[in-house]
Amino acid sequence: MKKEIIIYSLIFGSLAGIGCFLFFIGMYNIKFNPLSFTRPSIGINIILIWAAIWYFKRNHGGFIHFYEGFSIGFLTNIIGAFVSGVLVYLFIEFYDYTPFTTWVIEGKALMLKEKETFSKILNDETFRKQMLSFDSLKPYQIILDDLMFKQIAIVPISLLSMALRKLSN
């Protein structure tokens, strides 16, 4: 059973990662800064998480425990985020560095634009350190950013796992 959970997660996670990367490429070709507009790609992860849980349930006589659904969803999400992060990193590292540079510039501009708001949260020293941290960003951090952001999908994973679970009598 554990092996099947990993297999489903690898298949659907890889599909989610490739789908998110294709979304990135689409945004790149439309001339948006694709790194500033990757957040909607979490929908691709959620759809493929649902598909992975549904297929697992279908192939097990319509029965699934919550822990199975949650495990499949969580692993699918992590694998999808990792695959898309690595593909985007490789794209930036070996094809076009411009999206990363634009992402850093836009991040700094946002911090400066919203300085008044951030001053309520951060003291001057912390704000200065945050601004300086933009200068030391490296492209591999895109992988970490993708992994961290897509953890928001844990809420839908839990809900899908609860909604699709069905125990034997």
Residues 84 and 51: their CA atoms lie apart, in Å, by 18
Largest Cα–Cα separation, the chain? 61
Entry pTM: 0.82
List the domain range (segments joined by +) for residue 62: 2-97+139-164
- 55, pLDDT greater than 80: yes
- Sign, CA dihedral 155-156-157-162, equals positive
**Structure-model confidence comparison of residues 15 and 111, the more confident one:** 15
Report if residue 59 sits inside a domain: yes
Report if residue 34 sits inside a domain: yes
Report if residue 80 sits inside a domain: yes
Report if residue 46 sits inside a domain: yes
pLDDT tens column, 93-123: 999 888 888 888 888 888 778 777 777 777 7
What is the DSSP code (8-state) at residue 97? -
- Domain count within the chain: 1
pLDDT of residue 167: 57
Report if residue 86 sits inside a domain: yes
